[in-house]
Structure 1
Amino acid sequence: MTVQLHARDVGAGTPLVLLHAFPLSSAMWLAQREGLGGRFRVITPDLRGFGGSQLGADEPSIDAMADDVARLLRRLGLARVVLGGLSMGGYVAMALCRRHPDLVTGLVLAATRATADTDEVRAGRLRQAERLEREATVRVLVDEVLPGLVGPTTYRQRALVYGRVRGLVQATPARAAAWAQRAMAARGEAFETLRGLKVPALVMIGAEDVLATEDEARAMADALPNAELLVIPRAGHLIPVEQPDLFNQAVAEFTAALSRGAPG
């Protein structure tokens, strides 16, 4: 069965497609739709199984998620887009660049990594997937994943933001979360894809991120032929939720420069 993704689509102008983190949905991009929708066409899909998108019956695969996004863009009649992904969304974005490079005119990678999982991380994902399937609740994600999603500054000073993130995690369907964990555990490394990328890229990492590191972000920026690296202060893993103004400003400048540089 072909999965047709649900997507929020606001604004007009250069299309900017943002892929959400695990275990959230396109709801995490609220501040981007509000802050960037006045300048660009902001499209935020729910990846399969999350938000308003069906899970389907395919084997867990990041490549399948990337193909879903490519089908969505073609359905919307978009020939080329600026593509952004955070964490799991970054894995999907890199897979899309490998499988459908013709669709991407610029790439934003935030709080993600190009390496495959270590054995320890992979084992943790599979253990969580089994618990998600067995218990049919997302308690394991609230206990084990939620604490790493925001930095200490957000946890201490932005109670409303933390509460919103917690609510998004709690709203995640357990089956979709298990499927996505298995998909991420099975993915390979993406450095070859990055080295072959022919479009400009922006790599972002939160200064307080404990799930992805500045070294990993730098390794991606170094592999990309044309990339800028930004370290965002007082942000953990969810940069666009924790520091929306800084994230939006960086993405707006990047996208506007691409638009100016585009032929025609």
Structure 2
Amino acid sequence: MNGGKLTGSDNDTERLPLLLVPGTLCDERVFTPVLALLPERSVSIAPLTDVSDVHEAARRILADAPPRFALLGFSLGGIVSLEIAATEPGRVAGLALIGSNARPVAPEFHAERRREAISGSENLDHYIRKIMWPRYVSEGRRQDAALQHLIAAMARDGGRQLLLNQTEIGLSRIDSRDRIARMTMPSLVLGGCEDALCTPEMQREMAHRLPDAQLALLPDAGHFVTLEQPEAVAAHISSWLERVDRVSA
């Protein structure tokens, strides 16, 4: 985990640290436009590298995490965040899930997912630009060359083995739909109305089952909602963090 402070101020002592977990083939750049709009606080990134199991990923992140923190995960990072919150709920003061999913992958689909990952890892640029791109963003952003370049650059920098490892993280997860009913911390469930990977139905399902969740579904946004609509995302995260800080004070 990158424990370095990304933002900070003299008021950090009054605010819980924020721990961010990026998604598949993503790094801190998936959060950069949102972080630029948030009030300053101590922020750390926990990249999902050098690990291929969701339980081990959660264990490693918890080993380096602050004693108590607000936790935000995007996509696969949200799946790992659910595992973190289930493992040590007392340390997670608040939980935000962005474009994520509490459902497992049925065993009969594991081989197909692995074949897709192997094929994609052999040519990451082709995988992102030709196969995944239509599923990543809203229809209105399909011609956004700069956004496509950024997402492809993160994938290229992550590399072949990262895609294979992170595919295994996703396949190793269990069904979290029942256990999230025990996650009582202030929560935010946020997604894009045009998300084809983690659909609005999945977001509603999680928000309904979490005891203290606010749901935000953003129109004209797809899976990469943090990059498509950073202003709206930052506004919802700010409100959530205010709730977390207030409850934890």
Mapped to 2, the partners of 1:146 and 1:120 lie a distance apart of 25
Aligned residue number for residue 102 of structure 2: 114
Change (3 A) 1:240 1:120: farther
1:129/1:182 contact within 8 Å kept: no
Question: Aligned to 1:248, which of 231, 234, 243?
Answer: 234
From 154, 157, 167, the counterpart of 1:181? 167
User: Aligned ranges for residues 205-224 of structure 1 at < 5 Å?
Assistant: 205-224=191-210
Q: Hey, what does 1:20 align to over in structure 2?
A: 22
Report the alpha carbon displacement of residue 176 of structure 1 after superposing the two structures with TM: 1.5
- What TM-score do the two structures reach when normalised by structure 1? 0.84
Amino acid in the other structure paired with 1:34: A
Matched AA of 2:212: N
Which residue number in structure 1 is paired with residue 55 of structure 2? 63
Q: CA deviation at 1:33?
A: 2.9
1:84 is paired with a residue of what secondary structure? strand
Contact in 2 for aligned 1:200/1:226 (Cα 8 Å)? yes
SS at match of 1:106: strand
CA–CA separation in structure 1 for the residues paired with 2:200 and 2:117? 27
Q: Deviations over 1:6-65 (max 9, x none)?
A: 3552223221111111121122111133222x43222222222xxxxxx1xx6x211111
Aligned residue identity for 2:75: S
Count of matched residue positions in the alignment of Structure 1 and Structure 2: 242
CA contact (8 A) 1:146 1:169 kept: no
- Aligned pairs for 1:1-264 (under 5 A) are 5-12=1-8, 13=12, 14=15, 15-36=17-38, 38-48=39-49, 55=50, 60-73=52-65, 78-119=66-107, 121-131=109-119, 135=122, 137-139=123-125, 141-142=127-128, 143-156=130-143, 158-263=144-249
Contact 1:129/1:179 (CA < 8 Å) preserved in 2? no
Identity of aligned residues (%): 22
Cα 1:140–1:179, aligned 2, differ >3 Å: closer, same or farther? farther
CA contact (8 A) 1:132 1:175 kept: no
Give the number of the structure with larger relative contact order, counting CA–CA contacts within 8 Å between residues 6 or more apart.
2
Contact 2:95/2:185 (8 A) holds in 1: yes
Aligned-partner residue type, residue 85 of structure 1: G
Secondary structure of residue in 1 paired with 2:100: coil
Contact 2:137–2:224 (8 Å) recurs in 1: yes
Q: Which runs of 5+ in 2 are unaligned?
A: none
RMSD: 2.0
TM-score by length of 2: 0.89
